Amino acid sequence: MSIPFLKAENVSKTLSSGGKPLQILKTINLTFSAASTNAIVGASGSGKTTLLGLLAGLDLPSAGSIYFSDKDITKLSEDGRAKLRAGRVAFIFQSFQLLQHLTAYENVLLSLEILNSSQAKSKTLSILDRVGLSHRLDHYPNQLSGGEQQRCAIARAFVIKPVLLFADEPTGNLDLKTSQTVVDLLFELNHERQTSLIIATHDIGLASRCERVITLSGGEVLSDETNK
Ligand SMILES: Nc1ncnc2c1ncn2[C@@H]1O[C@H](COP(=O)(O)OP(=O)(O)OP(=O)(O)O)[C@@H](O)[C@H]1O
Ligand SMILES: [Mg+2]
């Protein structure tokens, strides 16, 4: 039996655009179980990235609550949310967000060093090898191709073996073969570590490998289906 450990309750998000309020997410109610694989799909602009940011506690909703392990993260300070996430939650952003002054190797190593993890160097080398970046360890992000930067961001997220992983278009910039490797790594992590995956994607193949597919449309849940 899987336990619900992430829950969005009546979550909405309104931003101001040109001085006018713009509602981006409308009354979202979703519960995610531990060790589950979830795809969030929907047209460009439907609110996937916004929803991921709220679920991950990177951003706060305009209304509603988000519970992670029974704690309402919307009631925590930014610091409190960061502490709750440390070592447990990882993200792969649509915009990579690699640190520009660190090499590929250092970007991945840093996430382990922050956690005082043992064997940080060998874990870093091993994961970078898995994503096919062994020959680019000393390159800075601006010396990597888009797909290489994405693989580095993926290695950085995977290396801590999080219990919850958010991925925003993890295969968006990759060729077929690399994209397959990355998807395999995502599902291996789910099997090995019971990591829950919440993946925003336009990739139908990737979505179909998830147990559950949530479709957003205009900031609302249009459908929420379990894959056979
Ligand atoms: N800071 C902002 N101010 C105003 N509008 C915003 C802001 N951020 C996002 N939006 C709008 O909110 C809507 C949802 O954006 P979001 O990035 O969540 O979409 P998405 O589903 O991830 O799209 P894509 O598939 O293109 O990545 C879009 O219409 C976007 O223009
Ligand atoms: Mg997006």
**CB 49 less than 6 A from any atom of ligand 1:** yes
Instruction: In whole angstroms, give the CA distance from residue 136 to residue 38.
Output: 32
115: CA distance to ligand 1 center in Å?
A: 32
Instruction: In whole angstroms, give the CA distance from residue 166 to residue 92.
Output: 6
Q: Which two tokens stand for residue 140?
A: 């800075």
12: CA distance to ligand 1 center in Å?
A: 14
Summarised one tens digit per residue, pLDDT across range 13-23 is 999 888 899 99
Alpha carbon nearest to ligand 1 atom 8, residue: 50
Pocket test for ligand 1, best of 12, 49, 221 (most atoms within 8 A of CB): 49
**CATH code, 34-58+84-226:** 3.40.50.300
Give pLDDT, residue 96: 74
Q: What is the pTM of this model?
A: 0.92
Each domain of the chain, given as residue ranges in start order, spans: 34-58+84-226
Report the b/e string of 104-136 with b at 16+ CB within 10 A. Answer: bbbbbbbbbeeeebeebeebbbebbebbbbeeb
45: CA distance to ligand 1 center in Å?
A: 5
Q: Are 118 and 58 in contact (CB under 8 A)?
A: no
Query: pLDDT tens digits, the chain, 228 residues: what are they?
Result: 455 689 999 999 999 888 899 999 999 999 999 999 999 999 999 999 999 999 999 999 999 999 998 899 999 999 999 998 888 999 998 777 899 999 999 999 999 999 999 999 999 999 999 889 999 999 999 999 888 898 899 999 999 999 999 999 998 878 888 888 889 888 988 998 889 999 999 999 999 999 999 999 999 999 999 987
